[in-house]
Amino acid sequence: MASTTKSGAKSVNMKKVWFYSLLLTIQYGAQPLISKRCIGRDVIVTSSVLACEIVKVICALFLMAKDGSLNKVFKEWTLIGSLSASGLPAAIYALQNSLLQISYKSLDSLTFSMLNQTKLIFTALFTYFILRQKQSFQQIGALFILILAAVLLSIGEGSRKDYGSDNPDEIVFYGIIPVLIASVLSGLASALCQWASQVKKHSSYLMTVEMSLVGSLCLLASTYKSPDGEAIRQHGFFYGWTPLMMIPVFINAVGGILVGLVTSYAGGIRKGFVMVSALLVTALLQFVFDGKPPSLFCLLALPLVMTSISIYQKYPYRVKKKEE
């Protein structure tokens, strides 16, 4: 009876994993086209990001109230627990994004894409060290196939952006080193989020709220000296906004919540599969709505993504009798 109940619960969780993963794939794939059509050139980037974080918090609180967990969370919430579960990953992600911006200016698109995709390997490593979650040899192979597919897709998207620095020292210290550190930090933050949700049983909705608040505070602090901060003080927070702006803001906020759910139910590695698959969705939507045919790199990446997902699902790590 107990095994039947356990099997049923596992089946329900797998359905949720596939459902949330499908929604996130569609959202992440459609986001670039929606943003392109709805966000004007004059919009201040920081204002749109902050608006997205606010909407994300509102949506997460609404979902917590709907499932009845809001009152329980408020009673049990502590600052120390919040900082340990969400504060550290949020700060790590903020630092990672800054490092990527520095690196992107100094590397050509091919080098940047190849180094940036190593975050999947670091996610697997940190998941092993923090959660003791092992991968089978086949799954490790699937990860490398996925990285190759991600590189091909990134090359196809960034083929028109092949600029970078010609200074060898600048390439190393402002290009290669920052993107590698960013990949390590991405893997660490992803594993920490998975640990908080799966081990500490921290609600994914609560983590979304906490990480959004921490991220917003970091962003607000950066406006003190940043060009965006100066633009907001000069022109106002909603400069360049139109009613259509709320569409990408809301969809991006929903995407943030879905990322938390996928990480909670499936883990950071599977989230990596979703993000790469979403690049294929973007290519498909660009063909349908913009008439832009998929690049050769995209066509080469498609069977690689499908193969890697199939292998990763079909050959999970099995505990040996000695380990049991």
Domain range annotation of the chain: 32-315
Kindly indicate the confidence band of residue 8, based on its pLDDT and cuts at 50, 70 and 90. Answer: low
Contacts of 26 (CB under 8 A, 6+ apart): 278, 281
3-state helix, strand, coil in the chain (%, to 5): 80, 0, 20
Dihedral class, residue 311 (left if φ above 0, else alpha if ψ from -120 to 50, else beta)? alpha
Mean pLDDT of the chain: 84
- Which of 13-22, 122-131, 156-165 is the least confident region? 156-165
39 — phi, psi (to 5°)? -100, 120
According to DSSP, residue 239 is labeled: T
- For residues 18-35, average pLDDT: 89
89 — phi, psi (to 5°)? -60, -40
- For residues 145-166, average pLDDT: 68
Contacts of 143 (CB under 8 A, 6+ apart): 120, 121, 124, 135, 269, 308, 312
pLDDT in tens, 98-121: 788 677 777 766 567 667 778 888
Is the pLDDT score of 321 beyond 60? no
* Identity of the residue numbered 103: S
Is the pLDDT score of 31 beyond 80? yes
According to DSSP, residue 39 is labeled: S
Dihedral class, residue 317 (left if φ above 0, else alpha if ψ from -120 to 50, else beta)? beta
Q: Measuring CA to CA, how many Å separate 45 from each of 52, 244, 249?
A: 11, 15, 11
* Whole-number Å distance between alpha carbons of 191 and 197: 10
pLDDT in tens, 262-304: 988 888 888 888 888 888 888 888 888 888 888 788 888 888 8
- For residues 179-200, average pLDDT: 90
C-alpha closest to that of 258 among 72, 45, 82, 56:
56
pTM: 0.80
Kindly indicate the confidence band of residue 161, based on its pLDDT and cuts at 50, 70 and 90. Answer: very low
- For residues 130-153, average pLDDT: 87
* Whole-number Å distance between alpha carbons of 90 and 310: 32
* Identity of the residue numbered 182: A
- 251 or 78, higher pLDDT: 251
* Whole-number Å distance between alpha carbons of 90 and 217: 10
